[in-house]
Amino acid sequence: MGGYADIGETTTAAPVPGDPALAELVNTERYPLCTAPGNDAWKALVAAARDELAADGCCVLPDFVRPGRVERLRAECAALAPLAYYGEQTVNVYNTTPDTPLPPGHPARVTMRRGNAFVARDRIPAGHPLQSLYTSAAFQAFVAACFGLPAVHELADPLAGLCLNVVEPGREHPWHFDTNEFAVSLLTQAAAHGGEFEYCPGIRSAGAENFDDVAAVLASRAEGRVRRLAPRAGDLQLFLGRYSLHRVRQVAGPRQRHTAIFAYTERPGVIGSVARTRQLFGRVLPDHLAGRAGSARVDALLD
């Protein structure tokens, strides 16, 4: 991701004032997404998000969903959870294949069990509030501005563009890096216990893997580098996950952890690979088989 453009001149698509679906869901009094990009309140909100991302690689917008709307959204997303595909697997931090030749001490030699599941976009009804938020021009313009981009684009992938992540009690999403440089997520149901989000901001860069530092975190020898968040339902998170090692700790208690993941890219037309799509969703569609997969990677790092 390059240098930030001037706030208010960043986005190419202007928000849509009076977007009823957005205003019904989002706490627009606190987060004025439906105003024009030149509005002082909008610019101040974007500037604060950029400062947090620059300093920490992560920005949490608490109570992004209207407080009176949180429980209804939780129930609407919980109704989708039984549609999740569960693909528990042994993985490493880079999602490389087990037979990849590696030197002793390489962090990819450390294996973990990944036990999270995903509800694919085509299982989420068109009128669902998650669909409305994901496709909102105002929301996309805001996200782009916070990450200093001229625009963001929905994935062309019919399964991965928008999904609901489900983590069952006793399971976790272990240490990993994101394929995309930036991530947007919304917690819709917190775990009763556990399920904290942990991350190591900027542990690697586009030009340096920093394997020793990653190995130290995996071996629990770098606790001072690990930051922990316990977001609440209705909190929106902006995150630079390409260069920040991160995980969701094991969930405990009687309740699943649910998170909506809004996947955007800097260029249009991105579709996931057959192998990765099958791994996450247990199936592929003609778009994946047509060989039109386009990577969201912006560097030559392992994953």
Give the mean pLDDT of 61-71: 97
165 inside domain: yes
Calculate the average pLDDT of the chain.
90
Q: Using a pLDDT cut of 70, give the percent of the chain over it.
A: 90
| Tally of structural domains, the chain | 1
15 inside domain: no
- pLDDT tens readout for residues 1-49: 544 556 655 444 444 456 788 889 999 999 998 776 668 999 999 999 9
113 inside domain: yes
User: What is the domain-level CATH number for residue 141?
Assistant: 2.60.120.620
Name 79's Cβ contacts closer than 8 Å, sequence gap at least 6. none
191 inside domain: yes
Task: Give the range of the structural domain holding residue 140, as residue numbers without chain letter.
Answer: 20-289
> What is the pLDDT at residue 6?
63
Q: What is the pTM of this model?
A: 0.92
102 inside domain: yes
32 inside domain: yes
The token pair at 120 is 């694919």
String of DSSP letters for 123-170 = GS-TTSHHHHHHH-HHHHHHHHHHTT-S--EE-S-TTTSEEEEEE-TT
198 inside domain: yes
> What is the pLDDT at residue 12?
44
- pLDDT tens readout for residues 253-297: 999 999 999 999 999 999 988 888 888 899 999 988 886 656 666
245 inside domain: yes
